[in-house]
Amino acid sequence: MSIASKIAIIDTAIDAGRIGGRAIEHINLCADAPYDHGAGISHGTLCAMTLDSMTCDYELASIQIFTENKKKVFTDIELLAEALALCTKIETDIVSLSAVSSILSDSKHLYDITLELAKNAVIVSALDNKLYVSVPTSYPHVIGVRNDAYGALGPGELAHRTGDPLGVDVFANSSLPFIRELGHNPSNSFAAPIVAAYVNELLKKGHSKAEIPGLLKQLPVYNPEAEQAATQTLPPAPEIKVPIVFVSGRSSDGCSSIMDWLYEEEQVQSAALSLVDGTYDVRVRRANGNLDIALEMRFMDRHYKKDLILVTGEEEQLRQIEGSVRFDMVILDSGNGKALMKYESVQEEVSRQNIAERLYKVLSGETEG
């Protein structure tokens, strides 16, 4: 006889009465928030109802990190990190998560924790509903989920996507009748527990957690034609309003260091387009040989939450693309630990270790040397 999987839902508190009185392990990480379901149905309860409608024979753990039923307000990324670490401690088999962050610098709090958790659990995480690249959803070791908003699938059906630029692995149609009857719209949040339920069914059949990613790839391929048609009807992308800076380098790692400093010291959120290889960083989009920079910039403007876009590559690549994008600053390696910064009619040489600080001062108007 197989042992039932433990499924954790990280969200608001869950009302057991809405899922037939199922036994729930309640864990409240909101120290100042009582176990209050309030009026109506909480978001976490809706996720639990969705899960319960699609599978059975499982243990449920409710990890509360939100204090309000109707309004999901999340400002403390460390609380989400604590919840994910707790999932390892309580030996969770499946994590269903819709509490995600589109502030990609939050990755420093989540990447290592989810990497450790993924050794023994399947993490199913919804994409941000505004379609921003999200953490932990877009990590390669997490099953990224998106709702089938184009109606290519029937209610509750799943399909696989390979190489999705937002890190989505599975599309699920969350247009379940009871969700609509309760006055809620289908969303990425409700797609996640549908996929978690499917994973539970696979585990019940005796498959191992290590087999899950491969088994999901055996789902029907998501037909992107409806999505592509919808994308083609979008108006032309407006002029990008954030600064765009080119940083020369043979690796994107130096760019990541600049982004770290900008966020940690000045709370500036950056994203980068890299024309070269480097260590994995969710904030960095790989161009993979595509030098259609206008197309790449449109994608980044739409799907990365940012105050600044960095483009990194070798100087020869800069010459190939500089006619297609207006750079507010170009930073080139001048050797001997120095960098040449070009902006407006100014050229100045700075120490490479001071690039981020000088970049911030120039872009914020503090241009005195």
CATH 3.40.50.200 range(s) for the chain read 5-231
Instruction: Check residue 233 and give its pLDDT.
Output: 52
Query: CA dist 186 to 52, 147, 168, Å?
Result: 16, 7, 17
Q: Beta partners for 124?
A: 96, 143
The secondary structure of residue 101, as a DSSP letter, is B
pTM of structure:
0.92
- Tens-digit pLDDT profile for residues 355-365: 999 999 999 98
d(Cα 15, Cα 51) in Å, to the nearest integer? 13
What Cα–Cα distance (Å) separates residue 99 from each residue in 13, 88, 191, 239, 336? 13, 17, 13, 31, 45
Q: How high is the pLDDT of residue 31? A: 72
Question: What distance in Å separates the CA atoms of residue 275 and residue 250, rounded to the nearest whole number?
Answer: 9
CATH class, 244-363 region = alpha beta
pLDDT for the residue numbered 81: 96
Tens of pLDDT, residues 53-66: 999 999 999 999 98
pLDDT, mean of each 10-residue run, the chain (369 residues): 86 92 91 60 94 96 79 69 97 96 95 98 97 97 96 95 94 96 94 98 97 97 68 57 94 94 96 95 87 85 95 92 91 93 94 96 79
**Residue closest to 173 by CA, chosen among 198, 156, 195, 196:** 156
Under CATH, what is the fold of the domain 5-231? Rossmann fold (3.40.50)
